[in-house]
Each structure stands twice: as structure tokens, then as C-alpha cells.
Structure 1
Amino acid sequence: MGVVFGDIGTSPLYAMQTVFSIDGNAVQPTAEDVYGVVSLVFWSVTVIVSIKYVAYILRADNDGEGGIMALAALIREKLRARSRRVALAMVLGVVGASLFYGDSLITPAISVLSAIEGVEVVAPGAHGVVLPIGIAIVTGLFLVQRLGTHRIGRLFGPVMVLWFVVLAATGLPHIVARPGILRGL
């Protein structure tokens, strides 16, 4: 759960930053645009978590491993006979694995660098150490990953619970100060 929800919990951060900076700032930080973007992020995360992860991905367990690679192995195991269904499942598995490998290269780097770049807000002189710290963290994560994603998940699960509690705790005073925000504009 720490791996899945860790990625989901950090992805909206850089997605929000990107939305307000692409296409010559076509999306402005007005109340309507902010509500629209937050709504899109909320419903995307809700649908992805409730349908994709809870209904399918978290149920696929291949000796403690999960994700597209586990799904491909489990499907191949279930469809033992040679048929078009096995071939289609393997093609989908290869396509999914390709997307997985591309995502596994870029997501950790973006997540880690986004988090470390936040230090520059407090200490602008830290610019020179952001990249080396990021490389050290990503290297450490990849070294630990060989032990299995289930172990990383157990480690990051409590960290992600703390992250979401901190987000809720920092957002709640603003909701209390402006309760109308829950009703829309």
C-alpha cells in the first residue's frame, strides 16, 4: 500500500504545478480554474484508486509482488493452453511492461526531485545539493527494491499515512476558516 498510495499521494503535487504552467499559463489561478483542476485531480485519484487499484491491482499477488508484471505472470498461469487469448495476454503484458519500465524510470526521479526542490523554498542556497541528494535517495530506493516491493510498501505505508495526516491537518484550518469552500463558489 505504501508504494501504490505513495505514488498517488505525490503525483497530484507535480500535476498541479504543471497544469498552471503549461500552454502559456492557459489555466489561471482563478477560483473557477482552481476548483476545476482540484475536481479533476480528486475524481481521477478516486476513480483510479477505487476501480484500478482496489478492484484489480491489489488483488493480484504473485508471491508478494504486484503490478503489471505480476498480472502478466498470473494471466499466463491461468491461461495455460496455447491460444489467441494467451498471445493477446502476452502482448498486453509486454505493452504494460514497457509502460511500467518507462514510468519506473521517470516517476521516482520526478517525485524525489520535487520533494527535495521544496528545500530550496526555505534555503535558496541549497540549490547545489538538490541533485546529489536526489541521486542518493533514488539509488538507495533502487538498491532496497530488489528485496521486494512488499517490503518497501511496509516501510512506506506508515510514511504515507503520516503524509496524508499532515496534508489533512494543514488543510483543515483553511476549510474551517472558509467553510463555504465545501459548497463550491
Structure 2
Amino acid sequence: MTRMTVRNKCVAAVAVAVALAGVPGVAQAQAQFAASAHRQSGEAASHAAGAVRVVAPGERVRAAAGVELWLTAEGKHWSTPETGEQFRSVVDGNIDLSTPGIGLTAEPVGDRYFLSGVYVAGQSTVRVVVRTSDGKVTASAVRLPGTPGWGVWYADVPLHDSLGVDSVTLYDRHGKEIASLTPSRP
């Protein structure tokens, strides 16, 4: 039996995540948000999926092929080749930062879906699991330094007609579910 390297595990986790998230017609389904991401350089992922990476405000993370993600005190920013720069505020009053919650945005990027969302988890260390019609994927997560109480999660999955997102669930460091989102299907 061979050992998988951390990089191979990251690649496998991203491949699984991609297989779970292709919901045609679900361009954006936003609820309360959750964030979980991992640190990636312009090359390969340096942390395994499921690990929360602390990033500096404005620090760009390569979240998927052609997709960059960055955080500021005002919220989540991301850029895709198809849509350019986008923004989701955490300070405009549309997200309750006092209650655990999770959100979802699903958008096609080439032959894949980029899934992401803001999460609110207070001071908890978190893990985000996306369940799709193909199985489940543990997402990556990022947050700002200190104790902002929110972060962003992301995953990249293959795009195909029969793929659907069944749920996105936020867990605390003890494995207890603290928030869940079940997107409506068209």
C-alpha cells in the first residue's frame, strides 16, 4: 500500500469536491454564510481540505483553476474568468454575525463548478462538508486573523447535468453540526 502525500490528498479532496457540486441553475443560493478555506499559493495547495487557513486582508488565494478568493474586513471577494470580480458583504446587515450560519454560491467555471460561501461560527474552529448527488466533499476554508467570527469556505467540483448540491453543513471542532443549508432545486 502506498502513502498519499499531502499534495495528493489535496488533489483528491478537490476532485471529490468537484464531483459533488454541479447544480445547473443554482447560480447563487445565499443564506447565512460560512467560510472555510485553505491556503494555496499560485502552485499547489499547501494545506489539506478541511483545514482553516488564516489569511491577511487582501491576500489572494488560488481557490480553483482561474479562480481567486480574498477577504477584507468588509467581506468575501472572488474573481472568475467568466464573471470577473465579485463581492459578498458581511457588514451590510444581510448576514447575522451573532448566529452560526452558512451560505452557498455555485457558479460554472469551464467544465467545473466553483462552490463557496460565507460561514459564521463565532470563535469555533470549523469544518464544512458539501453533499452532492455524487457523494460528499470536505471544503477548504479561510478566515482573517484575530476573531472576526466569520470566514469563507470553497470547493471545486466537476460539472455535469446530473450533479446536484444536496446540502452544505458547518461543523465545530468537536464534529457537532452548528449550521446547515439545503438549497432548493429548480
TM-score with structure 1 length normalisation? 0.23
Between structures 1 and 2, the one with greater helix share: 1
Between structures 1 and 2, the one with greater strand share: 2
Greater C-alpha Rg: 1
TM-score with structure 2 length normalisation? 0.22
